Amino acid sequence: MISISTSDNRIKQFFIQIGEISFFAGRFFKESVRPPYEINEFLRQCYNVGNRSVPLVSITGFIIGLVLTLQTRPTLEEFGAVSWMPAMVGISIVREIGPVVIALICAGRIASGMGAELGSMRVTEQIDAMEVSGTNPFKYLVVTRILATTFMVPILVIYGDALALYGSFLIENIKGNVSFTLYFNQVFNSLEFGDLIPATIKTFFFGFAIGLVGCFKGYNTRKGTAGVGLAANSAVVMASMLIFLLDFVAVVISDIFYDL
């Protein structure tokens, strides 16, 4: 009886949280189109989300290209298909590996940071003070952060993809003496708009999910300072799960269009 009631409570809490996030997202869309617009705060959040994530994204993207090429090249050599390496790496990174891995890295850094920042503001009653003073804390704190992640994560993904391809080129240049022009000509000849467009579009949804979850967890923090750490941790977990779910949906939709 105890285990059944516990599982029922977890299922109930799950659907309650889904409803709360949906209401939170609806409020975001309503507030985002209603003036006044916090342009300066939006630009500041773009700097925080984008510029401060560049070092981590740079290292991650570069190592992705190095490791993927080092791991795959021996297998292709056995089949005499080393010439296919640029095309294989380019399609793999642009279509799937780059967007998902970079988005997960951003979820770990950005969602946790937003959850902790807004959570600390909530438990120290700074958000309540903003409401009492007549300002709109939701528009100033939440809308600007979600918009910033929505627009900056795709840029970070494109930047990470470029570094991953460059890392792959370095290995090919060292191992196979492949020139820069030859390598990237093969990469771009293998890519089509059907590869680039879906991969780019889904990164906007990744960014929106990261910002939405991070702000939701932080804005609704309870239980004092202990809740701040819980909000940051749960924001990373939920944002990562949403990224995988959105990626699966994007792949299914893309596959349907390819069949058509």
Q: Are 221 and 122 in contact (CB under 8 A)?
A: yes
When comparing pLDDT for 96 and 2, which is higher?
96
Digit-coded pLDDT (tens) for 178-229: 889 999 999 999 888 878 888 999 999 999 999 999 999 999 888 777 788 8
When comparing pLDDT for 183 and 80, which is higher?
183
| Residue 26 placed within a domain | no
Domain range for 146: 54-259
| Residue 93 placed within a domain | yes
pLDDT at 241 over 60: yes
| Residue 120 placed within a domain | yes
HEC assignment per residue over 12-80 = HHHHHHHHHHHHHHHHHHHHHCCCCCCHHHHHHHHHHHHHHHHHHHHHHHHHHHHHHHHHHHHHHHHCC
When comparing pLDDT for 7 and 15, which is higher?
15
| Residue 58 placed within a domain | yes
pLDDT at 150 over 90: yes
| Residue 165 placed within a domain | yes
pLDDT grade for 5, boundaries at 50, 70 and 90? low
**84 contacts: CB under 8 Å, gap ≥ 6:** 76
pLDDT grade for 104, boundaries at 50, 70 and 90? very high
The total of other beta-carbon atoms located within 10 Å of residue 96's CB is 16
Q: What mean pLDDT comes out for the span 132-154? A: 91
**pLDDT number for residue 1:** 44
pLDDT at 250 over 70: yes
What whole-number percentage of the chain has pLDDT above 70?
A: 96
| Residue 36 placed within a domain | no
Is omega for the bond preceding 36 within 30 degrees of 0, making it cis?
A: yes
Number of domains forming the structure of the chain: 1
Digit-coded pLDDT (tens) for 50-78: 888 999 999 999 999 999 999 988 888 88
When comparing pLDDT for 153 and 132, which is higher?
153
| Residue 43 placed within a domain | no
Mean pLDDT of the chain: 89
Digit-coded pLDDT (tens) for 83-96: 888 999 999 999 99
| Residue 22 placed within a domain | no
Q: Are 104 and 240 in contact (CB under 8 A)?
A: yes
